[in-house]
Chain A
Amino acid sequence: MTLSLVLQALFAGVTNGIVYALVGMGLSAIFKGSRVINAMQGEFAVIGAMTTVLLLTKAGWPYAAAIAGGAIAGALVGAFIEVAFVRFMAKKNASEDSFLLLTIGLALSLSASILYFVGRDGHLLPPLGGEGVLIVMDAVIQFHALWLIAIGIGATLALRAFYHRTTIGLSMMAASIDADGAATTGINVARMRTFTFVLGGLLGALGGILVTPLIAVDYQLGLNLTLKGFAAAVLGGLTNPLGAAVGGITLGLVESLAIIGISSSYKDVVAFSVLIVIMILMPQGILGRAGRRGG
């Protein structure tokens, strides 16, 4: 095992980790603001990326405008899902399981719709910062991956500030923690939930757009991203976007180090075993906090 191989594994691990983190952050944002585990978070990424691809190639929009279009598409879909389904179900006091089923159903139909209407081709977007690569001791990392890492870190910090520094962020959390308490404190609970889904959709779509220069998007990408994002979010503590970032990078690194350290055949076995061990050692997630025990 050479040093450059280790370095390459680290690069790959961090890059993938940021991808998982971006999806995980969206998932944790939605969970934070609505207590819904969004099984279609990966689909937001696909929607964002696909819209950008189509706007860029079919409609001929400039890249920046297409990116904005993709992000808005994600946000709109998020808003639509809240207004059309979640709100209605929340009124009926639907259980957590049924929200999970809702998002699974939406994920299935969205991915099938993309297969049906857009086709099964994989698509790529041009990388930010050009096709260039950075070579460190024979290990290669694309400029775009560096951008991705920077943006990922920026987004994590921004999200954290948003939740704890802005009233609207606080209100979004409050509304999900105790709806009655929030309503009597003058917070419009339903609107906060819509904002939450808009935010989740936006984050998901941006994440999707950002990874598409590295990973070709196609109709099946969503589920894969959702699973990894879910692992990242839960590993980090679920209600903490910063945790999702840490969780994502941990997962990415464990995966790529398992490949060079053990064997690529057992990559998933090793990565998921490590995941289980981490959770058993830290049952609240890496950055999670234990609540008050007892009475």
Chain B
Amino acid sequence: MNPRTLLWLVPCLIVWAVLPFVVPRNIADLLVFTGIYTVAGLGIGLLLGHCGIVNLAQATFYGLGAYASAYCTVMMGLPSIVGFLAGAAISMALAYVIGRPILRLTGYFLALGTLALSAIASALFFEWDWLTGGTLGIGGIPKLDLFGFLLDRPSRYYFFVWIVAFACMAVAHNLIDSRTGLMLRAMRDSSTAAAALSIDLQALRTKVFVVCALFGSLAGSLFAHHASFVSTQSFTVDRSISFLLIPVIGGATSIPGIVVGALFVTFLPELLSKLGDIHQILFGLALVAVVVLMPEGLVGAFAKLRTRFARKGGSHG
């Protein structure tokens, strides 16, 4: 690692490490949610930014993860890790089975396909209340216990969530930077030409969809152990839509963009709600402002600003 990277990485790490101890508990709580949303958003970002696929089904996998954790721990009394694994396994299996046929669609047809998937899942979450607790949900999910260290408050859970988030970011980064990533972007830009170069579009899309589902499910399990409570309201189509906002706001092709997007959707409503009942109007307008002023996402806008500065600096020096 070169010294320049260290120069900004070390302060960042320090800020990250002390943050939960200096902010009030409710902010720490939001930071935990940011981490959870980052994990879920990463999957959508991979699909959107690198495959050009609009995935409106992330709430489904998020829900599967959450319910798996809730059911395993509360109803069956199993250790939490089983919930994580079961959620991941079920989500990935479902993504594979459903993904094979659905991912033959392209563009908006695929978007509608995933939307339909989300609607089906959300109806089933309502319907199978023996499993999900229906509208009333499942409460009393235990906090995570890491080798005797109970992650029972946001400032502790924060570290766990963000370490998972960083791991997911690293994995996503690896993927983008790999041979697979190359093929993904080729497929996004021209599927006709990608096919001619022997890229198996269908298989590739399915694989990424499965990775996206894995992230969704992980986020869901993390959420379940944080909120201690899960119910159908958290896994509706609306939630799928709000997950989609994360990469779009931040910039779908960039990994830091996902974090920025997650920060945006967790903190902005909180800040705006201080302004009274108009906060939802303002949130909508904030979205509008972001796209109108920065169509390439917050991170894209930032990068542009930096190059502009760099050029200005260059012409002076």
Say how far A206's CB is from chain B's closest CB, in angstroms.
24
Say how far A81's CB is from chain B's closest CB, in angstroms.
10
CB contacts (< 8 Å) of B115 on chain A: these are 227, 230-231
Among B112, B192, B278, contact of A112 (Cβ-Cβ < 8 Å): B278
Instruction: Report B241-257 CB contacts with A as 1/0, cut-off 8 Å.
Output: 10001001100100000
Q: Is the CB of B245 within 8 A of A104?
A: yes
A295 to B277 CA separation, bound complex (whole angstroms): 55
Known contacts A105-B287, A276-B113, then 8 further A-B pairs from the complex at CB < 8 Å, ordered by chain A residue: A100-B248, A102-B292, A109-B287, A109-B288, A230-B112, A272-B116, A275-B112, A276-B102
B270 at the interface (CB under 8 A from A): no
Residues of B within 8 A of A (CB): 48, 54, 101-102, 104-106, 108-109, 111-113, 115-117, 119-120, 123-124, 127, 192, 237-238, 241, 245, 248-249, 252, 277-278, 280-288, 290-292, 295-297
Q: Is the CB of B112 within 8 A of A106?
A: no
Q: A89-B291, A105-B287, A280-B104 are in contact. Are A272 and B120 (CB under 8 A)?
A: yes
A107 to B116 CA separation, bound complex (whole angstroms): 20
CB contacts (< 8 Å) of A108 on chain B: these are 280, 283-284, 287
Q: How many contacts between A and B, using CB within 8 angstroms?
A: 131
Q: Is the CB of A94 within 8 A of B295?
A: yes
Among A104, A110, A234, contact of B108 (Cβ-Cβ < 8 Å): A234
Among B124, B277, B284, contact of A106 (Cβ-Cβ < 8 Å): B284
Who on chain A is nearest to B277 by CB? Answer: A116
A295 to B104 CA separation, bound complex (whole angstroms): 20
Q: A101-B249, A108-B280, A294-B192 are in contact. Are A89 and B112 (CB under 8 A)?
A: no
CB contacts (< 8 Å) of A116 on chain B: these are 277-278, 280-281
Shortest 9 CB-CB contacts between residues of A and residues of B: A109-B284, A105-B287, A108-B284, A94-B295, A112-B280, A272-B116, A105-B288, A268-B123, A112-B281
Q: Is the CB of A105 within 8 A of B248?
A: no
A294 to B295 CA separation, bound complex (whole angstroms): 32
